[in-house]
Amino acid sequence: MQKVLIFGNSFRVNRLPQMKQMLTQLKQHGLDIAIDQQFAQFLVKEIGIDPTMFHTIDSEDFTGDIAFSLGGDGTFLNTAARIGAKGIPILGINTGHLGFLADITNDEAATFVDDIVNERFKIEQRTLLEARAKNNNERLNFPFALNELAILRQDLSSMISVTAKVNGEVLNTYKADGLLIATPTGSTAYTMSAGGPITTPDTPVFVIAPIAPHSLTMRPIVLRDDCEIELTTESRSQSYLAAFDGRSQVLDCKTSIVLKKAYYRINIVRPKDHTFFNTLKTKLMWGADNR
């Protein structure tokens, strides 16, 4: 391992007390450090990081052996979008709150550097959604999602109607506040709050879950991830929001969205003793007695 990339959340200065120590450790191991330009400026100004310790990432033309994402799950999703199909493994260091993707604490990060340098870790591969627009000349600004695609209403006073086809066959027309199509990674995010099932990250499935459905018969469903899903939306406003991992775009109702499993996957770095079930028990406090 020779080069470490660092991306981060520029709004949590009080939650980065180990940053200097971590950079010092990385330099002591002789590693080349590259930090996202905006985050680097933040670190120099707010924390006093020595700018001679690193160089900056100021374009999308970058390479590295591992990427550190400092923040919460939102920061991790942004980092994954920047990495794209480059295949660079991502380590999520949690300076946020819940953190299913960024589940390494600051304290763990300080002690995990030696393991990173000596490659004593495991890599989990995560499936993404890939989307394309159909029936119109619109272009999707964010065609990939690690967590989910959310189809959302623009008119807050009325519901939307989303017809889902699976491999060309109509599955259902969902009359609701919105509809979620999630990967296994996204099953512990927005979809979980909508009542969808939690799936283990290596399960080859997608989850479709309505948001506040207007009928109790509209339930979440789990599908194989080798299927193609087509979504057609009707709305009073004649438009709707398509949010890919929270990055929204307004689309005309004449535009359908076709989804499939992406051609690449995101590599997530985990300590060898971290398991998905332990993360669930820790983050969701399963088994805790709160009486």
Helix (H), strand (E) at residue 169: strand 169-176
DSSP string, 102-140: S-B-HHHHHHHHHHHHTT-SEEEEEEEEEEEEESSS---
* Triad 67, 70, 74: Cα angle to 5°: 100
Query: How far is it, in rounded angstroms, from Cα 147 to Cα 74?
Result: 10
Helix ranges, 142-189 (H): none
Q: Which of 36, 73, 177, 225 is catalytic?
A: 73
In sequence order, the β-bridge partners of residue 124 are: 268
Nearest to 233 by CA among 164, 169, 149: 164
Please state whether beta strands 239-244 and 148-152 pair in parallel, antiparallel, or not at all (unpaired). antiparallel
- 73 included as an active-site residue: yes
Task: With H, G, I as helix, E, B as strand and everything else as coil, classify residue 23.
Answer: helix
Query: How far is it, in rounded angstroms, from Cα 124 to Cα 272?
Result: 11
The total of other beta-carbon atoms located within 10 Å of residue 256's CB is 17
Asked whether the beta carbons of 68 and 91 are under 8 A apart, the reply is yes
- Residues recognised as catalytic: 73
